[in-house]
Structure 1
Amino acid sequence: MSDEQPPLFAIERRERILHELRQHGSVTVKRLAESLGVTEITVRRDITALADRGLVTRVHGGATLRSPLDRSVARGSDGSHSRYRIGMVVPSLSYYWPQIVTGARAAATAAQSQLVLRGASYDPADQRRQISALVDSGSVHGLVVGPETAGRDGAAILSWLEELEIPVVLVERRVPSVLALRRLEWVTTDHEFGAILAAHHLYQAGHRRIGLALPAMSPTSEHLRRGWSRGLAELGLDPSATFEYVLEDPDSESRERNLAELVDRCVAGGTTALFVHSDPQAIHLEHHCVDRGIRIPEDLAIVAYDDEIAENGEPPITALRPPKAHIGRLAVETLVSRLDEGPRRPVRRTRVLPELIVRESSQTATAPSPA
């Protein structure tokens, strides 16, 4: 009976190599070949396979645990190397952001790069935790992120991102000018112009008493508020003929009470149109009006912002549509351009216009008479 050990399969050898690295931090080809009972050529092939998967860093004569300085990326399924490994962190994987991710993936593929996606929440601490995980992995060349930008928490995240050694592109976010940060780049929808488009659309339909309904915590709300104010001022509307209302979360138990108060205010003040952010809020508002016998658009016209599900309203709701997939593509293209050209390239900050999609909720056979 032979005392010789049976030969190890490739997967077993590579698991042993990783085990040795976790224990000692580094290994040599010669020592591994002796302990595994294989040739040094076989060990080098195993190390290469592990490095191609981004699990180890190859060094002369052996390997180490993945080094933060190792910016190489794994091989693709066709055996080719990607140019860059791009980390992406977004605050939602279920609303608004999936189309942005789709556009980002398409741009990464076109640039022969990998996109590593992490979903966070709107909690700044969670956003920073997810971004840190990618940075600390040492495996990404740059970041595309949609972090909090408002208040003290937002300022802290943005200042931290500004100081990272790898380039960062904000997506659907921008830095408040008061922070005067110079390195961060961004690609965002021009939400302010979207609100101006909404104001002009309703004005041209004959509405002169128009309300604005926004959630308090949305990162988009402040941009819409500024654009709305500009639009009304440019149209010469009396500020007393409009009002702003704070919407509660659409899943809140007090949602119906909140909507009832909004509609009561419209009826009492003769308001004939509302600009609402976002789609779910607009659809709930529409349902509430129908239940009360208020006709859409004859008694109250509605324009929504986001155009995720607005077309599913009854009647379908007019909406401003941010070019989400295009925003994702541009963000990745901006990052790849930075990685290709280096720090000498001027900082790029891009705004893209949303599109007004007119549907039945704001169209009337006979427009209201100007007040």
Structure 2
Amino acid sequence: MRESAAERHDRLLALVRERGTARVADLAALLGVSPVTARRDVEALAARGLLDRVHGQVSWPARTERPERIDRPDRQGDPGRRRPGEGLVLGLLAPSATYYFAEVIRGAHEAAARAGARLVLRISDYRPEEDRARTEGLLAAGAEGVLVAPGWRGPEDRLAYGDWLAELPVPAVLLERRADPGTPLDALDRVVSDHGHGVLLALRHLLELGHGSPLLVARGDSPTALAVRAGYAEALGTLGLDAPGPVIESVPADQDPEGFERAVRALHEAVLSGRVSAALVHNDVDAIEVVQRLADLGVRVPEDLALIAYDDEVAALADTPLTAVAPPKRQVGRHAAELLVARLTEVRGGAEEEPARRHLSLLPRLRVRASCGAPSGDRPA
């Protein structure tokens, strides 16, 4: 199977992370790509703040932005005040360093820098069987606490590769992952996006525009995709709606062209039959390609179909800018890192009573653009 750009970006980030600094030409050789491809990848990752680039070399960034110095005199004249996480080392395990999780990582990195802590990153490439070993590698690298977004793709992965998380010898915070109630994992701190609320925002907006029950086109290969599906069923019940048809199974066009074409044809038939005039599509990339293919088949967005995408990574860049649900990815990373720093600071301070664990759900926003046929602007949670 041909390697995707996201997979190549993850390998590139892992190489730079291991070496600290590397020449672009050396990275091209290690990745097995042309120097032009390596240079473009480096430029894309540097633009997102994931790498520093200087004179043909790249390095792992010391921070994503210059933190405020808290150890200088402040307005109250308190010189020498230590930042709460001064000297701490935080570990972060993510399934990917691109697309959705790039912003999560950035938020965690910024929060760690502001607290005076160092963040160490490892990538699992969505291989949950390797999550434990990679997390142990973070501990060996000096991490005193960890932020963990396991590489689960579905409930079966959580069952097969989840129990070890509750047995870690250091504080841990789950990122964008939920656990079954009553399980050891459910007792961990966690910070997540409330995807069910995001789906409800999208469906309610389409109803307010005069459409009937929107149809869902969604993947089924990630926790986010499964949460969107579950949120869709719950939102229909909340709004008193019946589904206009079964959820259309979405697949990446580059990995399964025939499956992608089946999904587009199913949506095309639903529009032509008059069953639907609105749809929610997970994720942005799929939504952009769906709109392009529908145009080939004579279905226009938003004239014939009002469409909302889920993720808001690249939705604004489509020919017809896509209205999108935007999970608070960067804030998830920031709040998770702040929570871990607070937990470690409490441990460092020798708290007499163990603080209560916390489950924090952050609400997505709806960013309205041209694809739903309504005036542009943010819709608050």
TM-score by length of 1: 0.72
Q: Which amino acid aligns with 1:272?
A: S
- RMSD across aligned positions (CA): 2.1
CA distance in 1, matches of 2:103, 2:92: 13
**Residues 179 and 185, structure 2, Cα contact 8 Å, conserved in 1:** yes
Matched residues in 2 for 1:341 and 1:170: separation?
19
Cα pair 2:107 2:332 within 8 Å, conserved: yes
Match of 1:246 in 2: 249
Residue 352 of structure 2 corresponds to residue 347 of structure 1: no
Secondary structure of the 2:280 match is strand
The 1:232–1:84 alpha-carbon spacing in structure 2 relative to 1, beyond 3 Å, is same
Number of corresponding residues: 284
The structural deviation recorded for 1:138 is 5.7
Q: How far off is 1:282 after superposition? A: 0.4
Q: What is residue 306 of structure 1 aligned with on the other side?
A: 311
Contact 1:92/1:121 (<8 A) preserved: yes
CA contact (8 A) 2:124 2:151 kept: no
- Whole-Å separation in 2 of the counterparts to 1:243 and 1:250: 20
Deviation of 1:262 after TM superposition, in Å, equals 3.0
- Residue from 366, 375, 381 that aligns with 1:356: 366
Q: Which residue of 1 is the match for residue 379 of structure 2?
A: none
1: CA distance between counterparts of 2:363 and 2:332? 10
TM-score scaled by length of structure 2: 0.70
1:42 counterpart residue number: none
Task: Spell out the pairing of 1:4-19 with structure 2 (5 A cutoff).
Answer: none
SS at match of 2:316: helix
In structure 1, distance between residues paired with 2:94 and 2:277: 37
Tell me the CA shift for residue 134 of structure 1.
Answer: 1.4
Deviation at 1:275, TM superposition (A): 0.5
Q: Does 1:192 align with 2:196?
A: yes
Change (3 A) 1:238 1:355: same
Q: 2:143 matched to which residue of 1?
A: 140
- Give the equivalent residue in structure 2 for 1:159: 163
The aligned counterpart of 1:130 is: 134
Moved more, 227-236 or 314-323: 227-236
Query: Quick check: 1:297–1:364 contact (8 Å CA) kept in 2?
Result: no
Q: Give structure 2 stretches of 5+ with no counterpart.
A: 1-81, 348-352, 376-381
Residues 268 and 299 in structure 2, CA contact (< 8 A), matched pair in contact too: no
Residues 266-299 of structure 1 show CA distances to partners (whole Å, capped at 9, x for unaligned) of 3235211110100001001110111112111111
Tell me which residue corresponds to 1:274: 279
Tell me, in whole angstroms, the C-alpha distance in 1 between the residues paired with 2:199 and 2:339.
Answer: 26
Q: Hey, what's the Cα distance between the residues in 2 that align with 1:345 and 1:266?
A: 53
Shift of 1:181: 3.5
SS at match of 1:121: coil
What CA distance in whole angstroms lies between the structure 2 residues aligned with 1:126 and 1:215? 23
Unaligned 5+ segments in structure 1 are 1-79, 366-371
Pair member with larger Rg: 1
| Cα distance in 2 between the residues matched to 1:184 and 1:174 | 10
Q: CA deviation at 1:242?
A: 4.1
What amino acid sits opposite 1:159 in the alignment? D
Partners of 1:287 and 1:183 lie apart in 2 by 45
- The CA distance in 2 between the partners of 1:100 and 1:268, in whole Å, is 41
**Superposed CA offset, 1:235-284 (max 9, x none):** 22234x34311111232232234322332233235211110100001001
Pair 1:288 & 2:284 matched: no
Aligned residue for 1:217, secondary structure, equals: coil
Look up the equivalent residue of 1:246 and give its one-letter code.
Answer: E
Q: Residues 153 and 218 (structure 1 numbering): CA distance in 2 closer, same or farther, change over 3 Å?
A: closer
Matched, 1:335 2:345: no
SS at 1:99 equivalent: helix
Cα contact 2:149–2:175 (8 A) shared by 1: yes
Give the structure 2 partner of residue 58 of structure 1.
none
CA contact (8 A) 1:298 1:364 kept: no
**Closer/same/farther in 2, CA of residues 182 and 306 from structure 1, 3 Å limit:** closer
Quick check: 91-100 or 258-267, which moved more? 258-267
In the TM superposition, 1:1-371 aligns within 5 A as: 82-135=86-139, 137=140, 139-149=142-152, 150-177=154-181, 179-239=183-243, 241-251=244-254, 252-254=256-258, 255-342=260-347, 344-363=354-373
1:1-33 deviation per Cα after TM superposition (whole angstroms, max 9, x unaligned): xxxxxxxxxxxxxxxxxxxxxxxxxxxxxxxxx
Once the two structures are TM-superposed, the CA of residue 208 in structure 1 deviates from its matched residue by: 0.6
Larger deviation, residues 103-112 vs 224-233: 224-233
